[in-house]
Amino acid sequence: MSSPTLETEEHQALRAAVSALGNRYGREYFANVVREGKHTDELWAEAGKLGYLGVNLPEEYGGGGGGIAELAIVLEELGAAGSPLLMLVVSPAICGTVIARFGTEAQKRQWLPGLADGTLKMAFGITEPDAGSNSHRITTTARRDGDDWLLTGRKVFISGVDIADATLIVGRTEDAKTGNLKPCLFIVPRDTPGFSRSQISMELFAPEKQFELVLDDVRLPADALVGDEDAGLLQLFAGLNPERIMTAAFAIGMGRHALARALDYARTRQVWKGGPIGVHQALAHPLAQAHIEIELARLMTQKAAALYDIGDDTGAGEAANMAKYAAAEAAVKAVDQAVHTLGGNGLTTEYGLAQMIQAARVARIAPVSREMILNYVSHQTLGLPKSY
């Protein structure tokens, strides 16, 4: 199914190796973990040992010295095998990148080796109940108290806070001169007093849970702040582009998995004399379209990752948005067509495809919705005026 042309031999070898690992676990492992209310700990640990979780992090801190291109390959291949690791999107991709690029030496030493080998995980919290897509409206605020920070606010839909050792929280500090609020990033360890979480009941078939967070005067030491207080926005975007690229990889993996399952079925299920159901173009063409759209989305994802990895944050921003958009749409369509290809079996627990319907839609909503990407492209790329 995969056609990893345009990739270096190293990338192709990484793809093959991760695919082999993913297929040793596969969808059955993932489904059992979810049904038992557990986490994909065994796969996470093995992928960590093999160096896959930290391929993008600097070698001197235990990483593989690669970039987001390599980490996206890891996530895509695990997803294509049916066992995606959602925390890759936040832990090494956003948090690892931000700390590697902007953290102090002490923060790098404390977090990066663990994020790289998977023994530490970090969640990422930007979304707020009253801000949603409008992240300029976030109100989680940090104020100084002596050398410490006191952080107060609320976050919603934050993934994996229960299994993360800490959460990288996007807050704001007040500009002493203008009184304006500037974004800034804080590492909040899971058990810090005043930092509480409640699980949101979601209709998703996934081991990672989403949480609403309350930060009630959470006292943090000065070194909880990542990077420069005055360069928060730049630092934030350094993490958000990898997040979009990784969400695209997540969606592409899922789309490939669904499509492969549908193809197996279309090649073998026979209800008429003329051959298996796949001979009918009414089934074959939508599957071919799904394949084309997944391939196109991967191309844009590779472009975004390549731009990001050479340090072109602006170029990567546009490409990452487009890749996320294309991949989410491709995954939603592929999953829908896969379910349909199996007829009634598409909705059975045994075949396990219907459980991907909601999961595929996540990529359309998070981390930035389809409409907000269309807004971005309308304004930034096409120069059209803003409606808001």
Binding site for ligand FAD (CB under 6 A): 90, 124-127, 132-133, 157-159, 204, 210, 362, 365-369, 371-372, 375, 388
Which residue type occupies 383? G
**CA distances (Å), origin 205, targets 92, 332, 337, 360:** 23, 15, 19, 10
Task: Using alpha carbons, select from 385, 233, 381, 253 the residue that is nearest to residue 321.
Answer: 381
Asked if 253 contacts 212 with a C-beta cutoff of 8 angstroms, the reply is no
- Asked, as a colleague might, if the bond just before 183 is cis with ω within 30 of 0, I would say no
Q: Provide the minimum distance between the beta carbon of 158 and ligand FAD in the complex, in angstroms, as a whole number.
A: 5
Distance from C-alpha of 46 to C-alpha of 78, rounded to nearest angstrom: 12
Q: Which is nearer to ligand FAD, 240 or 305 (CB)?
A: 240
Q: How far apart are the first and last CA of the chain?
A: 42
- CB 317 → ligand FAD: shortest distance, Å? 16
What's the min distance (Å) between Cβ of 94 and ligand FAD? 9
- Considering the complex, state which of residue 86 and residue 277 has its C-beta at the smaller distance from ligand FAD: 86
CB of 358 to ligand FAD, least distance (A): 9
253 token code pair: 């993996």
Q: Does residue 318 sit in helix, strand or coil?
A: helix
Closest distance of CB 210 from ligand FAD, Å = 5
Q: Which residues contact 368 (CB under 8 A, 6 or more apart)?
A: 133, 244, 321, 324
Nearer to ligand FAD, 66 or 243 (CB): 243
Burial of 185 (C-beta count, 10 Å sphere; 0-12/13-18/19+): buried
| DSSP codes joined into one string, 78-115 | HHHTT---THHIIIIIIIIHHHHHH--HHHHHHHHHHH
CB of 234 to ligand FAD, least distance (A): 18
**Judged by CB, which is closer to ligand FAD: 254, or 362?**
362
Nearest approach in angstroms of CB 277 to ligand FAD is 33
- Rounded Cα–Cα distance for residues 95 and 125 (Å): 10
Closest distance between ligand FAD and the C-beta of residue 274, in Å?
A: 43
Tokens of 150: 């006191």
User: Nearer to ligand FAD by C-beta: 80 or 360?
Assistant: 360
| Partners of residue 174 on adjacent β-strands | 181
Nearer to ligand FAD, 15 or 324 (CB): 324
Nearer residue to ligand FAD within complex by CB, 23 or 135: 135
Which residue's beta carbon is nearest to the bound ligand FAD? 132
- Nearer of residues 103 and 367 to ligand FAD, judged by Cβ: 367
